[in-house]
Structure 1
Amino acid sequence: MPESSHAILRANQYGRPSFIDKIGLFSKLAVLPVVLIWSYLFKWSGRTRKRSLRDGLTRFLLTKLNIRQCQHVIGTTKATYNAWCKQVKQEPHIEAIGEGANLLWVSERRLEKVILVFHGGAFLLPPIDTHVKFWARVGAKLGERGINVSLAMLEYTLVPAAAFPTQLKQAVAAINHLTSLGVKPQNIQLAGDSAGANLILQVLSHLLHPLEYENVPALSLAAPLKGAYLMSPWVDLSDIHGTFKSGDPTDILTTGTLRYWGTEILRPVPKEYLGYVEANSAGDDWWKGVDALVDRVLITAGREECLKDEIIRFNSVFENFHAHVKMEEHDGVHDDPLFAVELGESGGGAPDMIIDWFRAGY
């Protein structure tokens, strides 16, 4: 095979760094101890030392490593899930749903009430164990409050192995699969962080404006979905209004990282379909009729994250078309509730508020 063909093949493979990438990865990780010591000694204002270490590590890796290097370090969605199952002594339950996707059951598989989770990671990275731990805790806390709900995480294909609208196809397949098993839409709540929240908005966009591009399957619901929770939704991939910089000094994601990732995701998207992927590029009346598709919507954003202003901007448009939208700003960074739960912190009450919101939906 010609060298150019090798290069093309490698570019379309997930987590396959080049030789130069591997050398760069080694040199970058070599300075990581210095970064962690610095984060510990000069902790970020308002954060515990443990949190400063966690945020410093995350920011360093996501800022300094390229996409191939990040994928190589983090691994795969299935590997994360299997490792978590082993840690908690739970038998993995992986269910194929078509379109090359799987449901990974985080709790006991029951088909009465289901929270369907779309993980974040810019459509480039798999979930980390933090994601699984957070949603397992949500399920456990709801159980303690008398709500027996099952949680399933969608394993969707990551870029560069597949691009838009593959992930939308797989999200639609997941919902269709659940309803085909007898789960009523009124007993399904969607949940997603960052790119996962973006994917929820893609689903709602597809319901409002059925997309025939690349044979995206139809999604027809007999009743509205019960709820949709958007944690730090990735509503702006290109820094349309130049607002990302406000969170640069404090967030775990920088303007440069967000623009770099956004460019990779948007590159193959035809201009006429941009609104499906970048919510803040959609027309002013794009969300007209969304209130008939989902009963309740919760949106959360950290006051110290780069996306905060764009999330507020999105909410100011979206709430014009839905009377039951709750927008909550909380102290913290991008996806802050996930990390707060992991470290045993209160997260300013955000995790408990999220659980209460889900409980109210059932």
Structure 2
Amino acid sequence: MTKNQTLTRLRFLLTFLFSTVPTSLVRIPSAIIRAWLKNLPLGPSIWNGFAGALMATAPPRQLQAILPSTIETYKAWAASQRDCAGVEEIVVEAAGGDDDGDDLIRLLWIGPRRRGGKVLLFFHGGGYVMPLSRGHLDWMDYVRKEAVAAGVELSVCVLEYDLIPENPYPRQVNQAILGFEHLLASGYAPSEIVIGGDSAGGHLSLSLLAHLHRPRPSSPSRGRSESIRPSDRIRGCFLVSPLSSLNCSTPSYNNWFSADVLGKKVVSTWGAHLVDNSPWHAEISAGKGWGMALDVPESWWDGVDVVDRILVTGGDEEVFSDHVQELGAMLKRRSKGEVALYMARREAHDGPLMDFAAGREASETTRVVTGFVVSCLKS
């Protein structure tokens, strides 16, 4: 451990003792009251109160100092699995995009890696601050095994993307584009690909869809197809509690005694880390929707025809609830593909991840997402 890492961890300890704990003493009782008033599950509500206090008080660099990295988490998890294809590293030479220097893109495989076949390209959540968690891997392994049991030989490919604040927008979008284009170059047909993600991963999925709909001029092109033709639409896209706006004034942000893990402070602070000192503000002002689906005129999405089916899910207790419903309605109006919206009652942010992080049985949202993936690739 370096001296800087040691100092960052010491700072985290002070933050935890003098900021996180006092904030928890407010948020946890608030979550308990909300759970009692709304008949919500008590355990997840208490956990959300504590985790929300931690996220609201600890700066991103401190959280990253105490959490294992994405690659560390994957390697530890994969060591206990029988049929993981491991890490695929792709060195991409610089080609005048937004970033200087070569890129190293890592794709983390769950199940066998085939040339061609059916694949789920997954983008994990965590506010672009927190790395991949074991819960994400257990969730995706569950989806894969359920698909195999249903007769779909599915592989899951998880993108390791760079984190903020060191890597603001559009770094992660460029990496998602490169990962997707690598799958195409490796022989995966668009009709055999489902993409999806939770929270920030849902935002990244939307950014990739926006790029496929209207290619982002300064995004990387490495001699692969930068977009796909309407006749080569990807098979499906699921968006679990996706970040789709940085407007924190909707009613769902103002629930009394919130039982959600997120709040205005986290969304606005982490959102600023993502978009400040980046092209994001200029793009949004110009009505370009690569960086945020709902913060531009709806006409941006007119005639979107790059995906056959879209599933949008959320919980009615989460701060994103209003935005999730608005996003689903907007995509139903603007997409040429099939769009479904599922809102879970008595559920807060990112229900499927919380299922597997807590080691509990799959919730209805988890089953809905799993059924969506299987039905996309069976049909």
Structure-1-length-normalised TM-score: 0.86
Aligned residue number for residue 160 of structure 1: 165
Aligned residue number for residue 4 of structure 1: none
Aligned residue number for residue 44 of structure 1: 35
Give CA-to-partner distance per residue, 1:309-347, whole Å, 9 cap, x none: 011122222211224100000021110122124445456
Q: Which residue identity is paired with 2:209?
A: L
> Is residue 238–residue 263 contact of structure 1 (8 Å, CA) maintained in 2?
no
Aligned residue number for residue 295 of structure 1: 308
Provide the C-alpha distance between the structure 1 equivalents of 2:301 and 2:16, rounded to a whole number of angstroms: 43
Aligned residue number for residue 286 of structure 1: 300
Provide the C-alpha distance between the structure 2 equivalents of 1:203 and 1:87, rounded to a whole number of angstroms: 32
Aligned residue number for residue 317 of structure 1: 330
Matched residue count: 350
Q: Which residue identity is paired with 1:308?
A: S
> Is residue 76–residue 126 contact of structure 1 (8 Å, CA) maintained in 2?
yes
> Is residue 134–residue 338 contact of structure 1 (8 Å, CA) maintained in 2?
yes
Aligned residue number for residue 56 of structure 2: 63
Q: Which residue identity is paired with 2:352?
A: P
Q: Point out the more displaced range, 112-121 or 250-259.
A: 250-259
Aligned residue number for residue 259 of structure 2: 250
Residue 36 of structure 1 and its aligned partner are, at CA, apart by 11
Name the SS of the counterpart of 1:24 in structure 2.
helix
Runs of 4+ aligned structure 1 residues displaced above 6 Å come to 13-16, 29-43
> Is residue 199–residue 241 contact of structure 2 (8 Å, CA) maintained in 1?
yes
Residue 54 of structure 1 and its aligned partner are, at CA, apart by 3.4
Quick one: structure 1 residues 43 and 251, their matched pair in 2 at CA, closer, same or farther if it must change by over 3 Å?
A: closer
> Is residue 299–residue 327 contact of structure 1 (8 Å, CA) maintained in 2?
yes
Quick one: structure 1 residues 219 and 128, their matched pair in 2 at CA, closer, same or farther if it must change by over 3 Å?
A: same
- Unaligned ranges ≥5, structure 2: 93-102
- Unaligned ranges ≥5, structure 1: 1-9
> Is residue 341–residue 351 contact of structure 1 (8 Å, CA) maintained in 2?
no
Aligned residue number for residue 350 of structure 1: 365
Residue 185 of structure 1 and its aligned partner are, at CA, apart by 0.4
Aligned residue number for residue 307 of structure 1: 320
Quick one: structure 1 residues 242 and 342, their matched pair in 2 at CA, closer, same or farther if it must change by over 3 Å?
A: closer
Q: Point out the more displaced range, 120-129 or 302-311.
A: 120-129
1:35-114 alignment, distance < 5 Å: 44-45=35-36, 46-88=39-81, 93-97=86-90, 98=92, 99-110=103-114, 111-114=116-119
> Is residue 120–residue 192 contact of structure 1 (8 Å, CA) maintained in 2?
yes
Q: Which residue identity is paired with 2:14?
A: I
Name the SS of the counterpart of 1:179 in structure 2.
helix
Structure-2-length-normalised TM-score: 0.82
> Is residue 85–residue 111 contact of structure 2 (8 Å, CA) maintained in 1?
no
What's the C-alpha RMSD, in Å, of the aligned pairs? 3.1
Residue 281 of structure 1 and its aligned partner are, at CA, apart by 1.0
Quick one: structure 1 residues 266 and 75, their matched pair in 2 at CA, closer, same or farther if it must change by over 3 Å?
A: same
Q: Which residue identity is paired with 2:319?
A: C
Residue 213 of structure 1 and its aligned partner are, at CA, apart by 2.8
Q: Which residue identity is paired with 1:351?
A: T
Name the SS of the counterpart of 1:138 in structure 2.
helix
Provide the C-alpha distance between the structure 2 equivalents of 1:32 and 1:86, rounded to a whole number of angstroms: 37
Name the SS of the counterpart of 1:142 in structure 2.
helix
Provide the C-alpha distance between the structure 1 equivalents of 2:23 and 2:328, rounded to a whole number of angstroms: 38
Quick one: structure 1 residues 66 and 15, their matched pair in 2 at CA, closer, same or farther if it must change by over 3 Å?
A: farther
Q: Point out the more displaced range, 270-279 or 121-130.
A: 270-279
Name the SS of the counterpart of 1:263 in structure 2.
helix
> Is residue 197–residue 231 contact of structure 1 (8 Å, CA) maintained in 2?
yes
Residue 112 of structure 1 and its aligned partner are, at CA, apart by 0.2
Provide the C-alpha distance between the structure 2 equivalents of 1:39 and 1:353, rounded to a whole number of angstroms: 30
1:170-181 alignment, distance < 5 Å: 170-181=175-186
Q: Which residue identity is paired with 2:263?
A: T
Provide the C-alpha distance between the structure 2 equivalents of 1:162 and 1:328, rounded to a whole number of angstroms: 32
Residue 77 of structure 1 and its aligned partner are, at CA, apart by 0.8
Q: Point out the more displaced range, 275-284 or 324-333.
A: 275-284
Aligned residue number for residue 219 of structure 1: 226
Q: Which residue identity is paired with 1:44?
A: A
Quick one: structure 1 residues 315 and 30, their matched pair in 2 at CA, closer, same or farther if it must change by over 3 Å?
A: closer
Q: Point out the more displaced range, 310-319 or 22-31.
A: 22-31
Quick one: structure 1 residues 85 and 289, their matched pair in 2 at CA, closer, same or farther if it must change by over 3 Å?
A: same
Q: Which residue identity is paired with 1:203?
A: L
Provide the C-alpha distance between the structure 2 equivalents of 1:43 and 1:88, rounded to a whole number of angstroms: 39
Residue 33 of structure 1 and its aligned partner are, at CA, apart by 9.9
Aligned residue number for residue 361 of structure 1: 376
Determine what percentage of the aligned residue pairs are the same residue. 26
Provide the C-alpha distance between the structure 1 equivalents of 2:324 and 2:71, rounded to a whole number of angstroms: 30
Name the SS of the counterpart of 1:189 in structure 2.
strand
Quick one: structure 1 residues 316 and 219, their matched pair in 2 at CA, closer, same or farther if it must change by over 3 Å?
A: same
